Structure 1
Amino acid sequence: MMKILLGTHVSIAGGLANACLHAQNTASNAIQIFTKNQLQWSAKELDFNEIDSFKRCVLKDGLTVVAHLSYLVNLGSTDEFVREKSVAAAVNEIKRCRLLDIKSLIFHPGSNKHLTEDETIRQIALNLNEIIKQTEESEDVNLVLETTAGQGNQIGYKSEHIVRIIELLEGNMRLGVCIDTCHIFAAGYDIRTLQAYNKYMDDFDNIIGLDRLRAVHINDSLKPLGSNVDRHASIGKGYIGQDAFGFIMNDKRLKGIPLIVETPGSDNEHKIDLDILKGMIRE
């Protein structure tokens, strides 16, 4: 039986080590966290005790941890205030990940309503280049571009957007990708049949490369195929339906890749989603 890394996005309210308690409550062996309050630009520095207690519980529980960057960050922005804040926040978050031994930081590429898509992609690459230069000592932290639904002026709703950013950064090996099932479905990629799912994965491999895949967000979609609306639903409760998630859970190409549920609700509701997914695994 292949090793499956499966879990949920968990809260760090009350301290980073509480993430481990949520992992236990949901029977997760992989989790995603915000390392700080994601609704604020700044964060107090991590102290030794907090870092140590988090790393100890992660090691004890055998958890794989990925982090998500604040949604305030917009690397597509040309507004100097937002651009500077976004670059600084990303740099700070990468340094926090390094201190916490977190190897992947996931983020939405960015948007800009005043630019063409190609210009926005170039702006994202420009800002990412600056971030990479400022975090050379943290080169073991992957910068993971998440696929998007295409809501508003988001970049990342096409695989071609992602690979273009990577190309503009000369294929830098710190750049990875996170597939979000709700987002790709809302962007128009159908994965509801085995044939359609395999076509998406084959195309992803041909365009971007599965060697860049660092995480998968497993979410059903409240909105229909091609809606370009980012609204997550519990597993089997949305327009994607259960079959697609069975394809994911049994896809040997995803061995060792953290599969993270970001569905609505509490630990109890997340555990229900995770139990449904585990029940789809064929021995």
Structure 2
Amino acid sequence: MFAMMARTTRAAAEAAKRKKQKEESSSQISKREENEVEKVGEVEEVEEVEDEDLGVSVHNTQTVAAVASQVLPATTVAQSSRKREAVAEEEEETTRVVKKARGKKSEVMIPAARTAGVRMMVGAHVSMAGGVQHAITNSLKIGGNAFALFLKSQRKWTSPDMKEVDAKAFRAGCEKNGFDPRKHVLPHGSYLINLANGDAEKAKKAYDCFLDDLKRCERLGIGLYNFHPGSTLGLSRSESLSRIAKALNKAHSETKFCVTVLENMAGAGNVIGGKFEDLRDIIAMVEDKDRVGVCLDTCHLFAAGHDIRTQGSYDKVMSNFDRIIGRKYLVALHINDSKAPLASKRDLHQNIGLGFLGLEPFRLIMNDERLEGLPLILETPMEEEKTWAEEIKLLESLIGAKGDDPEFLARAKELADRGIGERRTAGIAAQKKTAKAVVKPGKGRRKSVKKDESDNEGSDNDGGEHHC
């Protein structure tokens, strides 16, 4: 009996030993598997760091699948080997995808180098947050050879006086970086200013704000000041134009040299400047003709019904400008595509080539010798810092380009394709708006006019995304 018990004990001990060995072997395999999973995790972590640096999405979903599959218990060394091969394949795939993404990165980087010796002075409306001198830095960063800025808050009647240290830094910055503030800097006036306002109190507030801007310009050595003509607010057009001219004459008498620059408008409601005749009649009443000029906004031109999409139509519009106003008064351009169709009366700026204008009119502008030396200012939507840098280089690349050049046509089509969705949406919206405007005689008219007249400022009051 004792012998039988001894045999049973030895058998149990051997069984326990075999079980322990088996557990140790399984434990070693599991550790190897955990190490492989950790390695795969490290690969994915590196991928995500590189993705963040590139600013593009190159996440490899196969890597996630590989990690998930390897969490399952492995039973053989062969399976571990296959996993190592999978990891190597994933690393190779990641490298390929990252290289591909890098190849697609924009050629225009921030900061962008300015193009030296160019005769077409392209820039953008940049921020002056922290002091007017920072507008120079912001323009240099995007490679601009001209720039626009607000001289103070555009949504307040009064603002703190400009610090002399900032003014001095601005003047020095222009000289150091080769900006001619008399010719290539184009401040934009406050949205609140309406020199046509018939209310005495509001007219004074508008004039004081306007005059303050002009004096800031002259402290900075700036020679141009762009502003919206304003709105009739229901008064007669002739009376409104006369009020604007009188305000300009008074402002000229209280300042020395800054040129007051009238901007053409989209022509909605009671807004002045949709027709060239509005600007002509204001200029006719200005006493010092050397102190007044015009800035043509391409989006506003198109929205007001001036078609500049072909060589023939562009030449006709510019010929009309020359005949009605006079080319000598053209001192600047705002360069914008349009989100709204021709003659929509809507001030909706779009990025170059994506809107209803397309790329061709900008090729025509960049090859119009009569525009050389004028500030050409972008006011297009800007979601990221490099947008304007890319558009400046795009516009400069059009100098010398022919309309039938295959490379130009391909670029124009590429941009047009990118904007097709927004154009379709805007076209539908325009059709609906036109349909709503067709009302029975006497019905709904009073409400529409009342809405326009209730707006005591110079904007289009049409829900536009941009009012520069």
Identify the TM-score tier after normalising by the shorter chain: over 0.9
1:267 aligns with 2:388: no
Task: Report if the CA contact (8 A) 1:147-1:179 is conserved.
Answer: yes
Q: Which deviates the most, 125-134 or 192-201?
A: 125-134
1-structure distance, mates of 2:233, 2:208? 22
1:135-186 superposed Cα distances (whole Å, 9 cap, x missing partner): 2xx2x20000000001231111111110100112246220100000000110
1:76 aligns with 2:76: no
TM-score in terms of structure 1 length: 0.95
Name the structure 2 match of 1:148.
Answer: 265
Structural mapping, 1:25-174, within 5 Å: 25-63=141-179, 64-135=184-255, 138=256, 140-170=257-287, 172-174=289-291
Structure of higher RCO (CA pairs closer than 8 Å, 6+ residues apart): 1
CA-based RMSD of the aligned residues comes to: 1.4
1:228-281 superposed Cα distances (whole Å, 9 cap, x missing partner): 111100001111110000000010000111110011114311112212211211
For structure 1, which runs of at least 5 residues remain unmatched after alignment?
none
Task: Report if the CA contact (8 A) 2:148-2:187 is conserved.
Answer: yes
1:117 partner letter: R
How many residue pairs are counted as aligned between the two chains? 280
Task: Report if the CA contact (8 A) 1:146-1:179 is conserved.
Answer: yes
Q: Which has the higher helix share?
A: 2
1:152 partner letter: G
2-structure distance, mates of 1:237, 1:101? 36
Name the structure 1 match of 2:123.
Answer: 7
Name the structure 1 match of 2:308.
Answer: 191
1-structure distance, mates of 2:301, 2:277? 13
1:197-234 superposed Cα distances (whole Å, 9 cap, x missing partner): 11111111111111111100000011110011111000
1:35 partner letter: L
Q: Which deviates the most, 200-209 or 232-241?
A: 200-209
Question: How far has the Cα of 1:2 moved from its partner?
Answer: 6.1
Task: Report if the CA contact (8 A) 1:2-1:252 is conserved.
Answer: no
Bigger radius of gyration among the two: 2
Task: Report if the CA contact (8 A) 1:149-1:230 is conserved.
Answer: yes
2-structure distance, mates of 1:250, 1:267? 27
2-structure distance, mates of 1:225, 1:116? 27
Q: Which has the higher strand share?
A: 1
1:95 partner letter: K
Task: Report if the CA contact (8 A) 1:148-1:183 is conserved.
Answer: yes
Structural mapping, 1:224-239, within 5 Å: 224-239=341-356
Secondary structure class of the residue paired with 1:68: coil
2-structure distance, mates of 1:3, 1:27? 14
Q: Which deviates the most, 122-131 or 251-260?
A: 122-131
Secondary structure class of the residue paired with 2:289: coil
Task: Report if the CA contact (8 A) 2:249-2:288 is conserved.
Answer: no
Secondary structure class of the residue paired with 1:65: coil
Task: Report if the CA contact (8 A) 1:98-1:141 is conserved.
Answer: yes
TM-score in terms of structure 2 length: 0.58
Task: Report if the CA contact (8 A) 1:22-1:267 is conserved.
Answer: no
Secondary structure class of the residue paired with 2:186: strand
1-structure distance, mates of 2:319, 2:247? 30
1:181 partner letter: T
Q: Percent identity?
A: 40
- 358, 368, 372: which is aligned to 1:251? 368
Secondary structure class of the residue paired with 2:176: helix
Secondary structure class of the residue paired with 2:290: coil
- 335, 341, 360: which is aligned to 1:218? 335
2-structure distance, mates of 1:27, 1:92? 30
